[in-house]
A and B are shown apart, each in its own frame.
Chain A
Amino acid sequence: MNLLEVDAVTHRYRARPARPVLEQVSLVVRPRELVSLVGESGCGKTTLGRLVAGLERPSSGHVRFNGRDIWSLRGRSAKKWRLSVQLVHQDPYASLNPGLSIGSTLGAGLVHNKLAQRRNLHEHLLGLLRQVGLEATPEFLRRFPHQLSGGQRQRVAIARAISVRPSLLVADEVTSMLDVSMRVAILDLLRSFSEDRGVASLFISHDLGVVRYFSRGGRILVMFYGTLVEQGPTEEVVARPKHPYTYLLLEAVPVPNPTLARERAATRPPAALEGGPASTGCAYSNRCPFAEARCRQDKPPSVEVSPGHQVACHFPERVPPPSTAHGNCQSPGPLPTGPAVARVGFEPSRATEPQ
């Protein structure tokens, strides 16, 4: 059975009833699955996260958890569901109460939900800190958020979310406020919950580089202004995108390699980044370099192009292979030349890799 089902959800905000934030969005998340939702700022991905967490009620359609509509749940089952889905927010500077110590922040949920008794609460809290890679000392529990770094705060926020033993984490841009050097550690931590305890994740981000790392072995969903335009296995979507928007998002990600950056700059098609969705036909037709008259009239249905890989585009075959695809599984280039000592870099794993 699917853990989460979002079924034909349309959502409007009262301020702008004519333009739905989400339109006929359907998706599923299976137990322990790593699913990423990617799209630009303002495309509705945070709203979808809020609907999944039950913070907002969809204008139409259903959000089901373990097969039951979350808005039909009452009493004990409602309470159980509340704990099962936990949200981790983007900004660890805003999501922690500055007036509460780390111990109080983490302990409140445990005590309220009777997941720990007062006499062994302390051990529970230290165990939580250990699980998220923080210093597990009584001294740390007495600290306040302002005494922690951004990475440490985000770990506390994650510890708070997992403290009530959820089966689904909704992680909304959890790494975008952090230094690049801290991101991977946080992503590894979130992934470990899926491997060790079977917690599924719906990971929301604008950066396909981060998404590719996080949901390897899982799936990617690409959203453009309230509609899912492409979804499929992570490696498939990154290597062979079939929607022009996915292609654009891939080509936009900066790469830490100046030679490749120059090559990509030379071949990157100029793309219109501005302009909202088209009101008729394909929402992306306003910006799409491959759009034709048909795209402006008919809304493309979602079709399966390979197992589990669906795309809503009239002309998926026109999307070129991304400039990064060829480098994905190859060694970084020809063998080095020059004096032997100059070859010794600082990456022993790469240096010993068979070429």
Chain B
Amino acid sequence: MIKVDNLTVSFGPVRAVESVSLDVQAGDIYAIVGESGCGKSTLAYALLGIVPPPGRVTAGEVRWKGKSLSHMSKSELKHMRGAEVAMVFQAAMNAFSPVITIGAHLDHALEAHPDVFPRRRDGQEYFRHLLELVRLDPERTWRAYESQLSGGMKQRVAIALALALKPSVVVLDEPTTALDVLNQRLVIDILADLHSSLGVTVIFVTHDLALVAELAGKVAVMYAGRLVEAGTVDEVFDERGRRHPYVSALTAAIPSVVGAASAVRPVPGEVPNLAQLPPGCRFSPRCAFAEDICWVEEPDLVPDRSGHLVACHVANRLVGVVSEK
């Protein structure tokens, strides 16, 4: 469905995304996870070819159903964005126009893409169905202005609007941030429902590994612009399997309602400035397991037999995926 091949996105001399390859298949729920400033939102923008200037793709490419974004014409791109893939931006719930109703927002979308629903009535009917799927009252929501909806309701309307043109893929940037836990739970359940009932492919970006564990099927973990681990959720969360120390540290930092509260510990240090990256592995200054080689040589992403990718000298050596250098 979507293939990202060796993609690098640069903002001047700074590479926000560096040599990232991903393979998203139809029907996946795919999570891109990492801390603030690790390049995950930039990667999501690159999937739609909407990297904000001065950023630009300096190497590699994104292919949609085999076709490179850089070879698409303007009209092809326009059709793709909206009708093929929709994006729910971070804080999308604050992006509604305060002076028109939710129904009018839909009409704008239908007008911009008349080819999807030749009869507007069909589009409106479909949107009513979507509002029900996101567990809102269709009639009341249709007539509502954004000021009449709560934050959680707006987030769900944003999701319904993104799906209004029947895209096959929806990309969500931090879909649960700024929501309380009850609304987070609702959004998790709704996205899982939409995935199974509409068959839509879901890609989401988050800093919260708990959300990943609850919702995703596959995960790509980013650190300082690079992919450090990718695999299925079960592989990535397997405490006894091969893991990147960053993922272990991120998981251990989540104060949750399971496990001993005293076992929770913060991730030491901060994400490095992308303009002043440390030599060797980018995580080494924060890593409890760094060895001599980690300070010198940047590790490659190495797959194991099932295709689970990890970029860590120590993890790779421990499972014998690569021989000692």
Query: Whole-angstrom distance between the alpha carbons of A322 and B257 in the complex?
Result: 10
Chain A residues, CB < 8 A from B188: 254
CB distance from A94 to the nearest CB of B (A): 13
Expressed in whole angstroms, the Cα–Cα distance for A340 and B166 within the complex equals 49
Cα distance, A177 to B243, chains bound together (Å): 28
From A176, A328, A349, B178 is in contact (CB under 8 Å) with: A176
Does A213 make an interface contact (CB < 8 A)?
yes
Q: Which of A179, A212, A274, A341 contacts B36, CB < 8 Å?
A: A179
What is the CA–CA distance of A255 and B251 in the complex, to the nearest angstrom? Answer: 10
Min CB–CB distance A115 → chain B (angstroms): 30
**Contact partner of B261 among A41, A212, A332, A349, CB < 8 A?**
A212
Contact residues of B between 203 and 229, Cβ < 8 Å to A:
207-214
Q: B280 within 8 Å of A by Cβ?
A: no
Q: Which residue of A181, A238, A336, A345 is within 8 Å of B257 (Cβ)?
A: A238
* Bound complex: CA A260 to CA B318 (Å): 27
Q: Give the total of B residues in contact with A, Cβ under 8 Å.
A: 61
Cross-chain contact A255 with B180 (CB below 8 angstroms): no
Interface of A is mostly: helix
For the complex, is B35 an interface residue (Cβ under 8 Å from A)?
Answer: yes
Kindly report which residue of chain A lies nearest to residue B259, judged by CB atoms.
A327
Interface size range of chain A in the complex: 35 or more
Give chain A nearest CB distance to B94 CB in angstroms. Answer: 13
Q: What separation, in Å, do the CA atoms of A177 and B241 have in the docked complex?
A: 32
Annotate A92-134 by CB proximity to B: 1 below 8 A, 0 otherwise. Answer: 0000000000000000000000000000000000000000000
Of A1-9, A25-33, A65-73, A203-211, the one with at least 4 CB within 8 A of chain B: A203-211
CA of A249 to CA of B182 in the docked complex: distance in angstroms? Answer: 7
Annotate A316-355 by CB proximity to B: 1 below 8 A, 0 otherwise.
0000001010011100100010100111111101100000
A154 and B179 CA atoms in complex are apart in Å by 19
Name which of B50-58, B103-111, B194-202, B264-272 contacts chain A.
B264-272
Decide yes or no whether A149 CB sits under 8 A from chain B: yes
* Interface pair A213/B209, CB less than 8 Å apart: no
Give the contacting residue for B270; candidates A42, A151, A256, A274; CB below 8 A.
Answer: A151
List B236-269 residues whose CB lies under 8 Å from chain A: 237, 239-243, 245, 248-267
Contact A328 B258 (CB under 8 A): yes
Whether a CB of chain A sits under 8 angstroms from the CB of B150 is yes
The 8 Å CB contact of A187, one of B207, B255, B267, is B255
Answer yes or no: A269 CB below 8 A from chain B CBs.
no
Complex-state Cα separation, A261 to B135, whole angstroms: 22
Pairwise interchain contact A183-B255, C-beta atoms closer than 8 A:
yes
Q: Which residues of B contact A18 (CB under 8 A)?
A: none
Task: Give chain A nearest CB distance to B234 CB in angstroms.
Answer: 6
Partner of A252, one of B181, B208, B241, B265: B181
* Separation of A236 and B250 alpha carbons in the complex (Å): 27
Instruction: Please give the distance in Å from A79's CB to the nearest CB on chain B.
Output: 36
Supposing A41-B151, A213-B264 touch, asked if A255 and B257 sit within 8 A by C-beta, the answer is: yes
Assess A216 versus B182: contact at CB under 8 Å? Given A42-B150, A350-B239. Answer: no
Instruction: Decide if A150 is an interface residue (CB 8 Å cutoff).
Output: yes
Complex contacts, B243 vs chain A, CB 8 Å: 345-346
The answer to whether B181 touches A208, judged by C-beta atoms less than 8 angstroms apart, is yes
Bound form: Cα–Cα A148–B116 in Å: 46
Q: Are B320 and A341 in contact (CB under 8 A)?
A: yes
Name B22-53 residues within 8 Å CB distance of A: 35-37
Tell me which of A177, A185, A254, A346 contacts B185 (CB under 8 A): A254
* 14 A–B pairs (Cβ distance < 8 Å), ordered by A: A40-B181, A41-B179, A149-B37, A180-B207, A180-B253, A182-B266, A188-B266, A206-B180, A213-B255, A249-B182, A258-B237, A345-B248, A346-B248, A346-B315
Query: Which residue numbers of A lie inside 8 Å of B, CB to CB?
Result: 40-42, 149-151, 176-177, 179-185, 187-188, 206-210, 212-214, 216, 238, 248-261, 265, 273-274, 322, 324, 327-329, 332, 336, 338, 341-347, 349-350
B residues with a Cβ closer than 8 A to A are 35-37, 135, 150-152, 178-186, 188, 207-214, 233-234, 237, 239-243, 245, 248-267, 270, 288-289, 315, 318-320
Which 4 pairs across A and B sit closest by C-beta, in order of nearness? A213-B255, A206-B180, A254-B210, A185-B266
Beyond contacts A208-B257, A213-B255, A273-B182: 16 other A-B pairs, Cβ-Cβ < 8 A, are A40-B182, A179-B36, A184-B265, A184-B266, A185-B266, A256-B210, A256-B254, A260-B258, A261-B213, A261-B214, A324-B258, A332-B239, A332-B259, A341-B320, A345-B239, A350-B239
